[in-house]
Amino acid sequence: MSRKYWFLILLTPFLVAVDQGSKTVVENSFSYAARMDVIPGLLNLVYVQNKGMAFGMLNELPKVWRLPLFLGISVLAIVIIGHLFRQTPARAALMPAALALILSGAIGNLLDRFRWGYVVDFIQVHFRQHYWPTFNVADSAITVGIALLVLDTLFTKEPPAAAPAETPAAPEPGANPETHPPNPP
C-alpha cells in the first residue's frame, strides 16, 4: 500500500473522532449560547447550533430542504475528494494530507446533521470587539486542508511532460525525390 493511503487511514478517523468527541462534550456540557472565556479577549467556547452552511449561510432554508441539500453537497465533496485522492501520485505527501483533512471535516459536519439536525460550533476567536464566526474542529480541518491544497498547487512542481516524437518532414512541393531524399526517421 502506498504511503498516501496512510493519511486517509490514520488521519481521517482520528480527526473525525476528535471532532465528534469535542462536539458531544459541548452538546452535553453547555446550554445553548453559554460562553466560557478560555483566553480573555481572544478565545471563548460558545455553544452554537449552526443549521446552515459555513458562516450560517442558508440558515433560513426550510428544514425539509436542509438535510437533502447538505447531504448532496457532502456526498459530492466526498466523491470529488476520492477522485482527487486516487489521482494523487503515490509518493505525494502534502496533497493526501490536505484531502484527508478536508474529508474528515466533511464527514464530521455531516455526522452532526444526522445526529442533531444542525452542526455544533463552539470555538469563538475574537480580538477586542471583532469576532470571527464560531467554528468547530471539522471546520478547522477543512480550512487547514484547503490551505495545504493551495500550497501544494502553488509550490509543487510537476515533472516536465515528455516531448512529442518528431515526425519526418514531408518533401517540399515540386522537389525531386531522387535529389532530395526524405529525412531519415
- Per-domain residue ranges for the chain? 4-155
Q: How far apart are CA 54 and CA 42, in angstroms?
A: 21
Q: How far apart are CA 39 and CA 45, in angstroms?
A: 10
Mean pLDDT, the chain, rounded, equals 85
Q: How far apart are CA 139 and CA 37, in angstroms?
A: 20
Cell of 5: 493511503
Give percent helix, percent strand, percent coil of the chain, each to the nearest 5: 50, 15, 35
Q: How far apart are CA 71 and CA 64, in angstroms?
A: 12
Q: Which residues have a catalytic role annotated?
A: 121, 139
**Max avg pLDDT among 17-26, 28-37, 155-164, 172-181:** 17-26
Q: Which amino acid is at 43?
A: L
Which pLDDT does position 176 carry in this prediction?
A: 59
Q: How far apart are CA 81 and CA 75, in angstroms?
A: 10
Angle value at C-alpha 48, between 52 and 100, nearest 5 degrees = 65
pLDDT tens digits along 86-120: 998 888 889 999 999 999 999 999 999 889 989 99
Find the helix or strand (DSSP H, E) in which 46 lies. Answer: strand 43-50
Q: How far apart are CA 35 and CA 30, in angstroms?
A: 8
